[in-house]
Amino acid sequence: MKNIIDNINKLSLPAVILIASFMLGGFYFLSQVVEQRMELNERKRVEDDVEFKKTLVTLKKSACVDEAEQSAVDLYKQICEDGPYSVMPCVEGRYLTSNYDSAYERCLSREGLK
């Protein structure tokens, strides 16, 4: 009986060390997996933020183009119909380029894009 207990005692320490090693290794592995997933999620979030900002800038510039074009068309119609050049026929789709440029620059400045 004493011999069996001695054999169990001799085997128990290596078994405990082996089991503890597997447990610690498993915890370390899981912590690394969680850390990699967190880094991947953070990278994806940053990429999404950059893409969103690019899209927002594109939309703002598009809105500025529309606003500047409408401003230039309105001024052209006003000059054409009411101005000293009212003898000049109004042509649909024309606008004053200089007014377009200045309106576009003002819009970009107002939106914080310039």
82 with 91: CB under 8 angstroms?
A: no
What are the pLDDT digits (tens) for 37-64?
A: 999 999 999 999 999 999 999 999 999 9
**Residue stretches of the chain with pLDDT short of 70:** 1-2, 4-8, 82-96
Residue in the structure block whose two tokens are 């703002």: 60
Q: Are 53 and 78 in contact (CB under 8 A)?
A: no
Rg of the chain in Å (alpha carbons): 37
| Per-residue pLDDT, 112 | 87
10: left (phi > 0), else alpha (psi -120 to 50), else beta? alpha
Of the candidates 66, 65, 62, 91, the one whose C-alpha atom is nearest the C-alpha of residue 79 is 91
